[in-house]
A and B are shown apart, each in its own frame.
Chain A
């Protein structure tokens, strides 16, 4: 097990070990997504208050949760890179940012589509929405900083520091906007979880889409990491050999 983890830290081994894994991960994720969506959109009973509007939950909640998870993962990888100087951790931290930002954007957009029929508006300066928007800004900041440096080493380290500073700030940002919000309009319970206990017919399909969204996230991270590995190791012999065999097959 330790041996396996150790190997995963080497870009070359990471590349070779994930080659056979990608079709399986993609297949299982898409299958879970189809099951979850067909079940959730077609067969789950409508909500007693929101009718069919609530069905976007099967996409919105997993994606929105995934955006937060992506930030935490990016910060963990950044910390691993800063402490142990593991290059693979930096590669994963780098690719987490655009994928996480895309998840954040998708979470905000699906949230807006849900908000319009339910609250009557696309956007509210509610605590959850606001802190989620700021999370998106934090992703943008990390990406902008990484893009600003010429030296790869400096850009990796600088982006890592910012990612770690950001993760310390995320809870503070969340509580600040929550308190600010309660100051102005009182706690508005907009979450589905409050009150009515949701029956299993409603939440079981969300499990399927949830795991599908996680699977697709890791699929995107692994595939982008592989590209990044090839780019960074483009002068290494094994990449040159790989290129030759790939070109021979074309």
Chain B
């Protein structure tokens, strides 16, 4: 290293910050990655009221389930972009070879992915709640549930994405792998809104959703890492 550039070793914090920045820059450079899941979420949820003559009250009772299922599907459809580009251009291999622990890099990648695809779903969900006549008491639990639940869904779906990134057509396979594993989040998330609408305390279910997030956040990166090493070899 005699010439111009002086190289300094990057610490863990610096490397993770760089990963996060890189992911966000990549996402903002192709807006479709952010907008398409959001559009899917809005369009798919608005199909339900059009599929029959629903009284507003009936629509209100199915609204939590409709919003949660479409959010789950939107999360799943957004996952393709998590590793696909990195796999195609070889930067995924560099990530696996990086001196910093893969575990934290993967947490950062999923966090960045959630910030650009999951968080917008949470932000726009009150609009869907309005369209689906969700009673006013349901808004807060819907937002809290989606805020805790969508990152968990991203983490679980990332395992399946990592397992299938080496395959050419993985869309439907990903759904078959991921949807059964996502059921607990769906049950507790939609259940939280239902509980609140019935006037019951929501503390327990919020705690369960938070516990699932912590568990997925700590355990899923291990499985994602193992899966990536299989897909890249």
Contacts and interface: CB of A to CB of B under 8 A. Distances in A.
21 contacts: A134-B180, A134-B183, A141-B176, A141-B180, A148-B164, A154-B230, A158-B163, A158-B227, A161-B226, A162-B163, A162-B177, A164-B223, A166-B181, A172-B212, A173-B184, A176-B184, A176-B187, A179-B187, A180-B187, A180-B191, A183-B194
B36 interface: no
Main secondary structure of the interface of A (DSSP, over half): helix
A157 interface: yes
Given A144-B173, A148-B167, A180-B188, 5 more contacts: A134-B180, A145-B163, A154-B231, A158-B227, A179-B191
Interface string A142-161: 00110011000010011001
A161 to B, nearest CB: 5
Contact of A183 (B166, B176, B195): B195
Given A145-B163, A154-B233, A179-B191, A161 B223 contact: yes
A166 B233 CA distance: 23
Interface of B: 159-160, 163-164, 166-167, 170, 173, 176-177, 179-181, 183-184, 187-188, 191, 194-195, 212, 219, 223, 226-227, 230-231, 233
Contacts of A134: 180, 183
Nearest to B184: A176
Given A165-B159, A173-B183, A177-B187, A157 B176 contact: no
The 10 closest A-B pairs by CB, nearest first: A176-B184, A137-B180, A157-B230, A176-B187, A180-B187, A141-B177, A172-B184, A158-B163, A144-B176, A134-B180
A148 B231 CA distance: 12
Nearest to A133: B180
How big is chain A's contact interface, by range?
20 to 34
A56 interface: no
Main secondary structure of the interface of B (DSSP, over half): helix
Interface of A: 82, 134, 137-138, 140-141, 144-145, 148-149, 154, 157-158, 161-162, 164-166, 168-169, 172-173, 175-177, 179-180, 183
B230 A140 contact: no
Given A161-B227, A179-B191, A183-B191, A148 B184 contact: no
Given A165-B181, A183-B195, A158 B176 contact: no
Of the candidates B167, B184, B188, the one having the most CB atoms from chain A within 10 angstroms of its own CB is B184
A140 B184 contact: no
A138 B180 contact: yes
A154 B166 contact: yes
Contacts of A165: 159, 181, 223
Contacts of B159: 161-162, 165
A145 B177 contact: yes
A173 B59 CA distance: 27
A177 B187 CA distance: 7
Nearest to A150: B167
Nearest to A157: B230
A180 B189 CA distance: 10
B126 to A, nearest CB: 24
Contacts of A145: 163-164, 173, 177
Of the candidates A158, A162, A168, A173, the one having the most CB atoms from chain B within 10 angstroms of its own CB is A158
